Amino acid sequence: PAETDADLARLTERLADPSVYADGETARSLIEEYNAARDRADTLAAEWSRLGEELAVVEAEEGATSSPSAPRS
């Protein structure tokens, strides 16, 4: 994730440079690379969120089963 964030920062900085657009192929290539990095970042963020939700469920289930007041079967 940090690598993806660094890629996005680097690409954003390059794309902010007006001289990049003097060469259309370079600009297109950087835009494609930026879009791919953004998609990776979005995918990783969604996965992180999903895993956080799963962890919360597991922790809640463990808390319910280890609680001294919880009935045991």
Q: What is the pLDDT of residues 31-50, one digit of tens each?
A: 999 999 999 999 999 999 99
Handedness of CA 42, 43, 49, 52 (dihedral sign): negative
Confidence of residue 21 (pLDDT cuts 50, 70, 90): very high
Helix, strand, coil % over all residues of the chain, rounded to 5: 85, 0, 15
pTM across the whole model: 0.73
Token pair, residue 17, equals: 């440079």
Confidence of residue 7 (pLDDT cuts 50, 70, 90): very high
> 3-state DSSP call for residue 26?
helix
